[in-house]
Structure 1
Amino acid sequence: MKLTLFTQAAMAIPLITGALAIPTPDAPEAKRADCSMTVRYRTDWVEKGLDRYRMQLITNPRNDRHLGVYCDAFKAPVGFTINPQCFWGDAYYVDVSAARGPAGRRAVQDAHNKACSDFEVYTGCRTIREF
């Protein structure tokens, strides 16, 4: 393939400028490092033959957008949980149904562990897992 001198120069510009870029510290990263979210077990009950688990979400400092990020990460398909719901009551809660017994409890824990890990990647905040 023959390329003109102009074409070769145009293709080389991104390579040259990318190699010369000077990394700078990311200020928002440093700002996000002191935030956290606590995922706290509240209760469980039987509903329509399934165990229903409720977790409370607490952000520090308060950031309602982070609650939405966690909820979206939790609602992504992760396994054997059914009907996830995020809502405000006297606090912000996440409810989910699963099979009765230890297998269902483990499925809920796995779903929350994955959502916590995804939340940490998305926001840079740490999670405190109390479940």
Structure 2
Amino acid sequence: MIAEAPTAEAAARTLINGAAMAFTRTDTPAGCLLASSAIAVSAEAEDVKEELAAIRREIEAALRDKIAAGIDAGDVPGTADPTALAAFVITAIQGLSTLARDGGSRAKLQQVAKLAMLVWPSPRSHA
């Protein structure tokens, strides 16, 4: 999904908007197993916790690389920090998961997702 997106912004928008939709499906538990499970686990489940963290790190790294490529392509301003921007997107997604688990509606999550994307740096605003 990230690699196939035409731009880094499209990848981030797809991730955040997709999270808002997926976390509020009526046929699955609210939130996201990957985003919120196994945060506090017993020592016996430490391997599960680490595996889920590794998956989150892989997604973040793929988005960071897409952002870096966007800087090279001119789609993302050179002043952008790929590491911080990718971490922000992942943090927003984790927050959406918590909001959904706490009963947030799809409309509420979509509004938060829309606000989260307002921080995306525009190449035109930094030209």
Q: Same fold (TM over 0.5)?
A: no
Higher helix share: 2
Higher CA-based Rg: 1
User: TM-score w.r.t. structure 1 length?
Assistant: 0.28
Higher strand share: 1
User: TM-score w.r.t. structure 2 length?
Assistant: 0.28
Structure with higher RCO (Cα < 8 A, 6+ apart): 2
